[in-house]
A and B are shown apart, each in its own frame.
Chain A
Amino acid sequence: MMMRRTSPRLTVGLIILAAFIILGGVLPFFSPEDPRSWIKHPRNLPPSAEHLLGTTNLGQDTFWLLSYATQNSLFIGLIVAFFATLIGVFAGLASGFLGGVPDRVITLLADVFIVVPSLPILILMSSLLQGRASLLLISIILILFNWPWPARQMRSIALSMRERQFVNTARFSGSSTLQILAEEIVPHIFSWSMANFVNTVLVAIATESGLAVIGLSSLEEATLGTTIYWALQHQALLGRRWWWIGSPVVAIILLFIALFLISTGISSLSAERRGHGDA
């Protein structure tokens, strides 16, 4: 088939992600001020050389606010996606391959978390924590509600894979379970896991900002969600202050497009590699 080459999608995705990592991971350390504090600048300035994205109705510099917000949102998204996918994949595989009691316990736990709608519980928890839910706590709750998805999926993949030809072939040829796992199963599930990882980043950031939009996240922290919250509260939408409401929205969209491009890039690369291996 095709020669192995770097996928253009991967390149584009990585470039956008790099921009976000600079914006959220590096730039906040060079911020001239704490962009969360109010009335530092004149209010509602349009973008200019001095304020790249203008200022908010609360007298904050939108650009620096965005960089802080990106940092926190990336933190939530990556932490949640990483741990939820990791826990989910291992729990799901264990459940599918081991069967028996571990399978039942894991399935039961996963079903409970799937069946209880997470947003009302998150809203309840936020009031339980008296509205001071730290970003870390919100992340932990999100992990709790997000691992069952990959787990269910992995379990069903594992179940059907146990019956599949190539696994049986490998087993007949005397490979150890570990080898089967490493050589056959991991590549097979990798692309799905990446898609799931991206999805979980989305769900995590979207859930946090969903909580924020109805005013229940950690509102003094800047995240992409709380930035939208404050902009909506101050009628940036009707007032056509696009630089304020628009920057977090565009940032969320770009961030997800980048992550998705990366994941499909990786999965098509791995599919190609597998193609070579089989030949």
Chain B
Amino acid sequence: MQFAKFVVTRLIAYVLVIWIGITVVFFVPRFMPSDPVESMLGRIMTRGAYMDAEQVEAMRATLTQAFGLEGTLADQYFGFLHRIFVTREFGPSLSLFPTPVNELIGRALPWTLGLLLSSTIIAWIVGNAIGLLAGYKSRWVSSRALEIIAIFVYPIPYYITALILIILFIHLNPIFPLFFSIRGDPPSLEFISSVIYNSVLPAASIVIVGFGWWVLSMKALSSSISEEDFVYFAKLKGAGEGRIMTAYVLRNAILPQVTVLALQIGVIFNGALITEILFGYPGLGTMTYNAVLQADYNLLMGTITISIIAVATSTLVIDLLYPFFDPRIRQR
């Protein structure tokens, strides 16, 4: 019963979070001084296309109507909610009119998921393993050395790491491709190897930074837990080193690390935004950035809503799994 109540509370919170999140995302851009119609006209004029005054006026009227921006804000808002929860489509992109937003996101999403999941998981596992060891065996020379490396890579922002990688491996030693270039069709070996080849550097910049953080935070946690009384008693009772490390230290340290991993998805999305832009990676980050610059409300709603739902869902899953990690909470 207790547990069922807990689940229901979490589910209600989940829906509330998504609703507040997308409401914020709906209203913020609409208070922007920027207008997608003007943006479209501006881009045409920036390119140097000549239009006389009447042509500008005629085009402005057509675009406003085509973009569906005429109704009141409330109409647009309820239409938006209806589209998200009922029809699950975001309408046409405004800057790439009339290409549907769903189609654009569908193309970008696998790239971002692939890049983020693989690099985050690699960084999390390797970083935590090393951090645990370094925290528990803090007097080993190798754990000190690893920690020092982590200290040096952790503070470097994604884009600096990315720039350094670009200079080292693209400019000075042209090992990796200058720019994103995929060959072959999806199932083929050529396709897969070119995807890997093109993703190594962007993934590396995420892994390197993430790795440093996991090592440092795990080390801090595990070394402070190692000095807890219960670890001390376990040692007195004669438990083996390996058992203490996994059963006592890891068990207690992993909980915050799992939580942080779930919460990091939003942060990692931020990191990916800049990394993707710097590497020209065709994912959601680059798409969100372009949408902001071109005041493409529909596309922006689409990319941010998708990421909000993804982050909220993974937070929910972690929350529901929580009691299984830490049985003490279940008793409440």
Distance (whole angstroms) from the CB of B37 to the closest CB of chain A: 16
Q: Which residues of A contact B13 (CB under 8 A)?
A: 104, 107-108, 111
Interface centre among A119, A160, A271 (most CB of B within 10 A): A119
Q: A124-B32, A127-B33 are in contact. Are A115 and B308 (CB under 8 A)?
A: yes
Name the residue on A nearest B157 (C-beta).
A206
Q: Which residues of A contact B9 (CB under 8 A)?
A: 104
Distance (whole angstroms) from the CB of B232 to the closest CB of chain A: 9
* Residue contact B263 to A166, C-beta cutoff 8 Å: no
Q: Which residues of B contact A123 (CB under 8 A)?
A: 289, 292
Residue B97 at the A interface, CB < 8 A?
A: no
* Residue contact A115 to B312, C-beta cutoff 8 Å: yes
Q: Which residues of A contact B18 (CB under 8 A)?
A: 115
* Residue contact B315 to A191, C-beta cutoff 8 Å: no
Can you offer 26 A-B residue contacts whose CB atoms are under 8 A? A107-B13, A114-B311, A115-B17, A115-B21, A117-B304, A118-B270, A124-B32, A125-B28, A127-B34, A128-B31, A149-B263, A160-B255, A160-B326, A160-B328, A199-B213, A202-B155, A210-B157, A210-B158, A210-B159, A214-B277, A232-B163, A252-B155, A252-B157, A253-B152, A257-B152, A271-B224
CB-based A-B contact count at 8 angstroms: 158
Name the residue on B nearest A271 (C-beta).
B227
> Which of the 9-residue segments A38-46, A62-70, A150-158 touches chain B?
A150-158
* Residue contact B227 to A214, C-beta cutoff 8 Å: no
Residue B141 at the A interface, CB < 8 A?
A: no
* Residue contact B163 to A237, C-beta cutoff 8 Å: yes
* Residue contact B29 to A111, C-beta cutoff 8 Å: no
* Residue contact A117 to B307, C-beta cutoff 8 Å: yes
* Residue contact A119 to B270, C-beta cutoff 8 Å: yes
Q: Which residues of A contact B224 (CB under 8 A)?
A: 191-192, 267, 271
Name the residue on B nearest A190 (C-beta).
B224
* Residue contact B311 to A210, C-beta cutoff 8 Å: no
Residue A207 at the B interface, CB < 8 A?
A: yes
For chain A, give the interface size range.
35 or more
Residue B169 at the A interface, CB < 8 A?
A: no
Name the residue on B nearest A213 (C-beta).
B159
Mostly, the B contact residues are helix
Distance (whole angstroms) from the CB of B324 to the closest CB of chain A: 14
Q: Which residues of B contact A125 (CB under 8 A)?
A: 28
Once the chains are docked, how many angstroms separate the CA of A166 from the CA of B167? 53
Q: Which residues of A contact B267 (CB under 8 A)?
A: 203
Name the residue on B nearest A191 (C-beta).
B224
Q: A192-B220, A252-B160 are in contact. Are A115 and B266 (CB under 8 A)?
A: yes
Contact with A along B72-90 (1 / 0, CB 8 A): 0000000000000000000
Residue A249 at the B interface, CB < 8 A?
A: yes
Q: A157-B256, A191-B220, A253-B156 are in contact. Are A124 and B28 (CB under 8 A)?
A: yes
Interface centre among A111, A115, A116, A166 (most CB of B within 10 A): A115
A-facing residues in B147-176 (Cβ within 8 Å): 151-152, 154-160, 163, 167, 171
Residue A264 at the B interface, CB < 8 A?
A: yes
Residue A163 at the B interface, CB < 8 A?
A: yes
Residue A90 at the B interface, CB < 8 A?
A: no
* Residue contact B28 to A117, C-beta cutoff 8 Å: no
A-facing residues in B259-291 (Cβ within 8 Å): 259-260, 263, 266-267, 269-270, 273-274, 277, 288-289
Name the residue on A nearest B162 (C-beta).
A213
Q: Which residues of A contact B236 (CB under 8 A)?
A: none
Q: Which residues of B contact A127 (CB under 8 A)?
A: 32-34, 292
Once the chains are docked, how many angstroms separate the CA of A274 from the CA of B220? 16
Q: A156-B259, A210-B158, A249-B160 are in contact. Are A108 and B16 (CB under 8 A)?
A: yes
Name the residue on A nearest B259 (C-beta).
A156
* Residue contact B160 to A111, C-beta cutoff 8 Å: no
Q: Which residues of B contact A108 (CB under 8 A)?
A: 13, 16-17, 20
B-facing residues in A182-205 (Cβ within 8 Å): 191-192, 195, 199, 202-203
